[in-house]
Structure 1
Amino acid sequence: MKFRAVMIDTGPMREFSNIVTTISKLSKECVMRLSDDKLYFIVSEDNSGPTPPVLWCEIPQDMFFSEYQMIGIDEDHKDIYLGVVSANLARSLMTLKSAKCLKIKLTKKQCPCLTLEIEMPSSTSQQTRQVTHDIPVIVVPRKLWSEFQEPRVPQPDISIELPTLKQLRTTVDRMRTMSPEIVIRASSEGRLTLQIKTSMAKVSTRFKDLRVEAFEGPIDHSDSETESQTNEDMSNVCYCRVDAKKFSIFLSADQISHNQTMCSIVHKKLIILCLQTEENVKLQFFITGIVY
């Protein structure tokens, strides 16, 4: 197996660093999948055995790398799967915001490593200096590759565009100091409601006039615990109760330059959060609903 890639543009280097930093906040470990046309970051639940990923991020290599060469195991198994500590990778990329060039290679030291060679401008002369990081990786065996495929999810009942992530994160962080769970509700009229309920209070925040990409209603609320709002047709509303901390962690992706973020809800079962950028980076985060 061989892999070598070069990045020379400031914008893509900064964006790549922000993406990896966001992933490191979501999980301590991830799998990097290298293919001919894309680089993937995949995160599964900790210690949960073979389950679908909870994070799926795909990066088109031609939008980020000026050079990109790889050779897999053989013609039938062209991809390369590497287990990596995401925090180590994120720390190594912190200097990219001022770097002139990044080279990434798959090397063999005492163990398999991703070797990062970062060319930095010198503060005292016109010459450059090179910083090298060797990040240990684990080569994922072929028998486990099936565990790191894009998740197949049910058809969402609604897909609605989220408001500004920074604003949303501030609201969610305040809410989760009062409750570990948050109910996310969306209506076909473009309303998004975040709600928590404790023994002392019930707090709701509503966002209006959001774009609804798809709605598969009407929604059956015959066994629902949700409370009807004044003049609201509940057949146009779906919701899901999720872990507030997980939702907040995804919202830290506001540092990635994105053009839209969609929230898709499978009623009471699943939240699918999808961030897309102008460079066609796609980051999906899956939060399973809490059901009592």
Structure 2
Amino acid sequence: MKFRAVMIDAGPMREFTNIVTTISKLSKECVLRIASDQLYFIVSDENSGPAPPILWCEIPHSIFFSEYQMVGLDEQHKDIYLGFNSGNLARSLITLKSAKTLKMKLTKKQGPCLTLDIEVPSACSQQTRQVTHDIPIVVIPRKMWSDFQEPRTPQPDVSIELPTLKQLRTTIDRMKTMAAEVVIRASAEGRLTLQIKTDMAKVSTRFKDLRVETYGGPIDHSDSESETQINEDMSKVCHCRVDAKKLSMFLSADSISHNRTVCSIIHKKLVILCLQTEENVKLQCFITGIVY
């Protein structure tokens, strides 16, 4: 197996750093899948053992890298799967903020490593200096590759474009100090409601006039906890109760330059958050619903 990639533009290097930093906040452990056309960052739930990924990030190499070479396991299995500590990679990329080039490659030192060679300007001369980081990795055997495939999900009941992540993050960060769970409710008319309940209070924040991407049809609320709003047809509203901390961690992706974020809800079962950038990076987060 071989891998070598070079990055020379400041914008992609900054964006790559922000993506990895966001992922490191979501999980300590991460899997990097290296394919011929894209890099994939994959995070599984640390507490559930083998399970579908909770985060899936696709990065097209043609946008980010000026050089990109890889050779997989064999002709039938052309990808490379590597496990590593996401915090180690995020800390290593801090120097990219002022770097001229980044070279990534697979090496073998005391063990297998993802080596980063970063060229940065010298503060006291016209010369540059080389900074090298060797990040220990685990090569994932082929028999485990099926654990790191993109999750297959049912057609969502509703998909709605979110307001700015910074605005949402401020709201959720306040809510999570009062309650561990938040109910996300979206309507076919473009309304989004975030709600928490405690023994002392019920707090709701509503956003309206949002763009609805898809709507799957009437929702059965015969056993629902939804509360009817004035002039709102509840058959066109779906909701899901999720962990407020997991939602807040995804919203920290507001540091990534993006042009849209969509929230898709499978009624009472799953929330899928998808952030997309102008460079065709796609970051998806899958938050399982909490059902009592």
TM range (shorter): over 0.9
* 1:255 is the counterpart of 2:255: yes
Q: Counterpart in 1 of 2:224?
A: 224
For the residue of structure 2 that corresponds to 1:253, the secondary structure is: helix
For the residue of structure 2 that corresponds to 1:126, the secondary structure is: coil
* 1:286 is the counterpart of 2:292: no
* 1:117 is the counterpart of 2:125: no
Shift of residue 177 of structure 1?
0.6
TM-score, normalisation: structure 1: 0.99
Cα deviation code 1:136-181 (max 9, x no counterpart): 0000000000000000011100000000000100000001111000
Shift of residue 49 of structure 1?
2.3
**Matching residue's letter, 1:67:** E
* Consecutive aligned runs of 4 or more in structure 1 exceeding 4 Å deviation: none
For the residue of structure 2 that corresponds to 1:209, the secondary structure is: coil
For the residue of structure 2 that corresponds to 1:93, the secondary structure is: helix
Q: 1:46 & 1:252 partners in 2: Cα distance? A: 19
Q: 1:76 & 1:263 partners in 2: Cα distance? A: 36
Q: 2:191 & 2:130 partners in 1: Cα distance? A: 51
Q: Counterpart in 2 of 1:147?
A: 147
Q: Counterpart in 1 of 2:137?
A: 137
Q: Counterpart in 1 of 2:52?
A: 52
**Matching residue's letter, 2:74:** D
Gaps of 5+ in 2: none
Q: Counterpart in 1 of 2:165?
A: 165
**Matching residue's letter, 1:279:** E
The alignment-based identity, stated in percent, is: 80
**Matching residue's letter, 1:183:** V
Q: Counterpart in 2 of 1:195?
A: 195
Q: 2:228 & 2:200 partners in 1: Cα distance? A: 20
Q: 1:8 & 1:231 partners in 2: Cα distance? A: 55
* Count of equivalent residues: 292
RMSD: 0.5
1:120–1:285 CA distance, 2 compared to 1 (3 A) = same
Q: 2:285 & 2:36 partners in 1: Cα distance? A: 24
Shift of residue 243 of structure 1?
0.2
Q: 2:279 & 2:225 partners in 1: Cα distance? A: 41
**Matching residue's letter, 1:101:** T
Q: 1:217 & 1:200 partners in 2: Cα distance? A: 35
**Matching residue's letter, 2:139:** V
Q: 2:3 & 2:191 partners in 1: Cα distance? A: 46
**Matching residue's letter, 1:84:** F
The 5-angstrom pairing of residues 28-47 of structure 1 reads 28-47=28-47
Shift of residue 95 of structure 1?
1.0
Cα deviation code 1:101-145 (max 9, x no counterpart): 000010000100000000000110100000000000000000000
The 5-angstrom pairing of residues 67-78 of structure 1 reads 67-78=67-78
Cα deviation code 1:225-266 (max 9, x no counterpart): 111111211001000000000000000000000000000000
Q: 2:157 & 2:48 partners in 1: Cα distance? A: 27
Q: 2:129 & 2:51 partners in 1: Cα distance? A: 44
For the residue of structure 1 that corresponds to 2:88, the secondary structure is: helix
Shift of residue 47 of structure 1?
3.9
**Matching residue's letter, 2:114:** L
Shift of residue 97 of structure 1?
1.2
Q: Counterpart in 2 of 1:265?
A: 265
Q: Counterpart in 2 of 1:21?
A: 21
Gaps of 5+ in 1: none
Q: 1:81 & 1:277 partners in 2: Cα distance? A: 24
